[in-house]
Amino acid sequence: MTDHWHQPLRHIKGGELTEDTMQTSGMRRLEAVSGKTVGSEKVWMGETHVGPATNSGDHHHGEAETAIYIKSGHPVFVFADGDKEIRLETGPGDYIFVPPYVPHREENPGEEDAVVIIARSSQEGIVVNLPSLWAEVSQED
């Protein structure tokens, strides 16, 4: 029987992040905390890099809520609101919340890498790549 009061803390050094997670075109996801890496049961955490003048593909994160902290660069988060495309321009120190199943993409119009820290309400890095922001999203993806 596992003693939940005496579990060791896990230290994941910056150089130990792995790319062994779901990827989306135009970005590089690195996994730090997950069911695979540390045995987490309710959270996934990592970082994403989007190079200069690059856009990610459109995607969503299934049933997971996603919280994003902008570490560096000025990424733009794009999502559809009805028939309108909404663009959220961000900078270092800003946060973004992405509700479950919301199609979106990250764009980096700047001249430096955009790096963001991501936390999700799932121990797995759920990523569903889509053909567009207006693609039908099934709640069962």
pLDDT (tens digit per residue) in 67-104: 999 999 999 999 988 889 999 999 999 999 999 999 99
Check if the beta carbon of residue 30 is closer than 8 Å to that of residue 49.
yes
Report how far Cα 42 is from the mean position of its chain's Cα atoms.
15
> Taking 80 as the threshold, does the pLDDT of residue 124 lie above it?
no
User: Does some domain include residue 123?
Assistant: yes
User: Number of folded domains in the chain?
Assistant: 1
User: Does some domain include residue 56?
Assistant: yes
Q: Quick one: pLDDT at residue 141?
A: 46
pLDDT (tens digit per residue) in 12-45: 998 999 888 877 888 898 999 998 899 888 899 9
Q: Give the chain's largest Cα–Cα span.
A: 53
pTM equals: 0.84
Q: Where in the sequence is the domain holding 120, given as residue range(s)?
A: 29-129
Q: How many CB atoms lie within 10 A of CB 58?
A: 21
Q: Quick one: pLDDT at residue 139?
A: 61
Q: pLDDT-derived band of residue 3, with 50, 70 and 90 as boundaries? A: low
User: Does some domain include residue 13?
Assistant: no
User: Does some domain include residue 72?
Assistant: yes
User: Does some domain include residue 21?
Assistant: no
Q: Which residue has the tokens 């856009």?
A: 55
User: Does some domain include residue 20?
Assistant: no
Range with the poorest average pLDDT among 50-59, 107-116, 132-141: 132-141
DSSP state string for the chain: ---GGGPPP----GGG-B--S---TT-EEEEEESHHHH--SS-EEEEEEE-TTEEPPPEE-TT--EEEEEEES--EEEEEETTEEEEEE--TT-EEEE-TT--EEEEE-SSS-EEEEEEESSSS---EE-SSTTS---TT-
User: Does some domain include residue 54?
Assistant: yes
CATH of the domain at 82: 2.60.120.10
Q: What is the chain's mean pLDDT, rounded?
A: 89
User: Does some domain include residue 5?
Assistant: no
